Amino acid sequence: MGNNIIEIKNLQVQYETSKGVLGGRQVVKAVNGISLDIKRGEILAIAGESGCGKSTLAKAIIKLEEPIQGEILFKEKDMLKMSSTELKEFRKHVQMIFQNPYSSLDPKMKIYDTLKEPLKINTTLSNSEIDKIIEETISKVGLDKDCLSLYPHEFSGGQRQRIAIARALVLSPEFILADEPVSALDVSIQAQIINLLKELRDNFNLTFMLITHDMGVIKYLADRVAIMYLGEIIEIGNVEEIFNNPKHPYTKALLSSVPDLNNKTEKIILKGDLPSPTELPKGCKFHTRCSHCMSKCSETNPNETIFNDNHSVKCFLYED
């Protein structure tokens, strides 16, 4: 295990959904055999189009989705086999920041009560100890303690996301899942929240899993990035390596969408839409949209090719 805080092994998550007006059920294969380590103190980004399974992966880690197979180890303990007491402890150490700060805060609760609630439920601290933690936490996210007596509607979107981050921090977690934490905010505010997350990681040695489709945010904030396509990780590596030397044709297409001030990057337009996760293509899941597709690509799923400790890819173009 070494320095890993989370180890995910061969995780599979499926859920049923209705087939629309005709009724009936169909199975969404959202996460298909993911193995992944997250190192203590790093920011690991999970990137991919909407519908690639990245949010389902995050929900499985915090037990909002039940995997059908695989293991999720948190500090060497399989969270899928934890007792209710162990799970209560686990929930203190693992927190989530959601995309929309307008819906993630209770509009009827003052900020003080929003921050107090998790401490009351999960600890036996006295009221004065709780008040001290609340004041320290609100200061960590760059807000004044006067805001504690106000309601969410009295704040801007950026301030609300700071409050949502404070709520995630109040139990002193070790690991935070941030699901598109800036995509609902004005562009002018996004940089402030990105900088705040970076400061929190640097100052408090927090570990983050960052779910986002925004490659610009990943380049600035993350240490490593895993590229997801139809429930699989098809390329993973440190951010510098992936941005400077992408291998998988899908990663190259994603990166070509990042605005380039010098206009040097040729934009790669993918054929068609992401196939439905209810009807996964055989072979390499990307073959229906890949301009390099070979006959074996539609029959067999490629194995992982490892370039170095910091970079691996699943694509036949790199298999011996």
**Touching ligand SF4, residues 236-265 (CB under 6 A):** 248-249
Where does this chain touch ligand SF4 (CB under 6 A) — which range of 98-106, 110-118, 142-150, 284-292? 284-292
Q: By CB under 6 A, is residue 130 in contact with ligand SF4?
A: no
Report if residue 229 touches ligand SF4, rule: CB under 6 A: no
Q: Which pair of tokens denotes residue 191?
A: 């940089």
Q: For ligand SF4, what does the binding mask look like between residues 189 and 218, x meaning CB under 6 A? A: ------------------------------
Q: Which of 33/157 has CB closer to ligand SF4?
A: 33
Contacts of 197 (CB under 8 A, 6+ apart): 43, 165, 178, 181, 208, 210, 221
Choose one: 10-18, 263-271, 274-282, 286-294; the region binding ligand SF4 (CB under 6 A): 286-294
Q: Which is nearer to ligand SF4, 242 or 315 (CB)?
A: 315
Q: Is 30 in the site for ligand SF4 (CB under 6 A)?
A: no
* 32 or 137: CB nearest ligand SF4: 32
Q: Which is nearer to ligand SF4, 120 or 292 (CB)?
A: 292
Query: Smallest distance, Å, CB 236 to ligand SF4?
Result: 15
The answer to whether 274 contacts ligand SF4 (rule: CB under 6 A) is no
Task: Note whether 282 binds ligand SF4 by CB under 6 A.
Answer: no
Decide if residue 54 touches ligand SF4 (CB under 6 A).
no
# residues near ligand SF4 by CB under 6 A: 14
- Rounded to an integer, what distance in angstroms lies between the CA atom of residue 176 and that of residue 93? 8
Which distant-in-sequence residues (6+ apart) come within 8 Å of 121 by Cβ?
Answer: none
Buried b (16+ CB within 10 A) or exposed e, 88-109: eebbbebbbbbbbbeebbeeee
**Residue closer to ligand SF4 (CB basis): 246 or 277:** 246
CB atoms within 10 A of CB 226: 23
Helix (H, G, I), strand (E, B) or coil at 112: helix
Kindly state the smallest distance separating residue 31's Cβ from ligand SF4, in Å.
Answer: 19
Closest to ligand SF4 by CB, 182 or 290: 290
Stretch 287-316 residues interacting with ligand SF4 (CB under 6 A): 287, 290, 292-294, 297, 302, 315-316
Measured in whole angstroms, the distance separating CA 87 from the mean position of its chain's CA atoms is: 21
Confirm or reject binding of residue 167 to ligand SF4 (CB under 6 A). Answer: no
HEC-encoded secondary structure of 293-314: CCHHHHCCCCCEEEEECCEEEE
- 27, 283, 296, 309, 315 from 300: Cα distances, Å: 22, 4, 6, 25, 11
Q: Whose CA is closest to 9, among 63, 62, 65, 80?
A: 80
Nearest CA to 248 among 221, 294, 301, 286? 286
CA distance 75 to 71: 12
The residues that touch ligand SF4, with contacts defined as CB under 6 A, are 248-249, 284, 286-287, 290, 292-294, 297, 302, 315-317
